[in-house]
Structure 1
Amino acid sequence: MSTRRGLFVAPFDALADPRVVGDLAASAEAAGWDGFFVWDHLAYGDRVTAIADPWTCCAAIAMRTERLLLGPMVTPLPRRRPQVLARQAASLAVLSGGRFVLGLGIGDDWVGELSGFGDEADPKVRGRMLDEGLEVLTGLLRGEPVDHVGEHYTARDARFRPAPAVPIWLAGRFGNRAPMRRAATRDGFFVIGLDGPDDLDALTADLVALRPAPGFDVVVDLRPEQDPGEWLDRGASWVLTRIGPFDLDLDAVRSIVEAGP
């Protein structure tokens, strides 16, 4: 299977408008890109002043396109309520005609994005919250009866419909074993922090040992100036081009999008 190409877009500043994001997604589809994924942040330091809601952006992308895969990349599940997230994900899967991918992780508190709003700052606790939240979330997304009372989440005698298929990609930094093991039980691994394409060989070997299900996606992202050719056919099923986060110029972004993969 050939490597698919997508865009990994920060909806910040010049792109902090779901209408603009929808326009870019339509242009991306026309230019031959395979996916359009948006960052999920509430804050991103002093250099970013405006941020759009990724869920509204995903709805705009779904309405403006017919072929692109789309989704938040990635949502910190520990700051979300899994039952609300399940409703949002299912609705976007229906709206997009089955093109929605849910990217999840523990989140990062490097600019106080979590602790500044009273969310959990300890990454080990967030890891446990992610594992427990995934149990609740995936049960609800499958339309199964869920009766869960845990340390962090409660869902008593719940069963959600509709229950469309929603692939889940989990994110983690290269070399960190826990996120990779967690991802291997789902549909894909969005790996952060690869130094070069040779790292994909080590990653692929580690994943083989974990034996993920057939069709498992390995996703990497590159800066626009990086040569994607070096990364293709090296074990990644998706190579994304990163747009952002800083000093975004709409005309420059349009040029990257319209140039195609």
Structure 2
Amino acid sequence: MTRSARRTRRMLSVAGLGTAALLTLSACGSSDSDSGSSSDSSAPASADKKLSGTVTVFAAASLKESFTTLGEQFEKEHPGTKVTFNFGGSDTLAAGITGGAPADVFAAASPKTMKTVTDAGDASDPATFVRNQLEIATLPGNPDKVASLKDLTKSDLKVVLCDKTVPCGAAAQKALDASKLKLTPVSYEQDVKSALTKVELKEADAAVVYKTDVNAAGDKVEGVDFPESADAINDYPIAQLKDAPNAAGAKAFIELVKSADGQKALTGAGFLKP
């Protein structure tokens, strides 16, 4: 083969390699572009996904005022959603959930009542979002001059307690036991709001409730602090339920409760930070 022929063959070979390289680079560029385009289009779709439907929240009675406010805020932030509440004694709510009542979120007034739900497999990973402390609620002006937990043991005083199966009742009993005091109330109520109402209606002289309930009642009652309450502070856990009909809404509502705005609303109502 002549030198000229060899040179021509070598030039054709180099040209072929260059063309192959260009084709390879072009294919890679196209692949990268397609990949980037796919990624970009999927991200906004996920980010733009809007919440809708009803979010059903089972919550301890003492959360009524603050959760109602947060529910209204949630609906404003997520048009097309509706937050419905079932407020009551935590033990009653827990029994309803384990019995199959449809709900998305459970907020209890004690870890014990939350454990009833988690042990049944109806929720997992509860988180404490606030704490609450007891206070004595008396008639306006405190006409009976109640100044301590011991004063509630006076025979001529009509006192109301929450039932011992309810977190506020269990906490009150714990405070009484720590003080070695015995108290026979005129009635045991199924939730803290019912106990407070007895005083508001003047059907009782005093009740042991939460500070948040005294705050919510305004001038309808007067609050009296007692040192033993520091030994009976309740943690409040919240959890998304396993078979939540609106799982996305449940997650978002819990995030609001735990957010800075949520905590501000709760501490403003008298709750303690976790």
Decide: shared fold, TM above 0.5. Answer: no
Q: Which has the higher contact order (CA 8 A, sep 6+)?
A: 2
Shorter-normalised TM range: under 0.3
More helix per residue: 1 or 2? 2
Larger radius of gyration: 2
TM-score (norm 1): 0.24
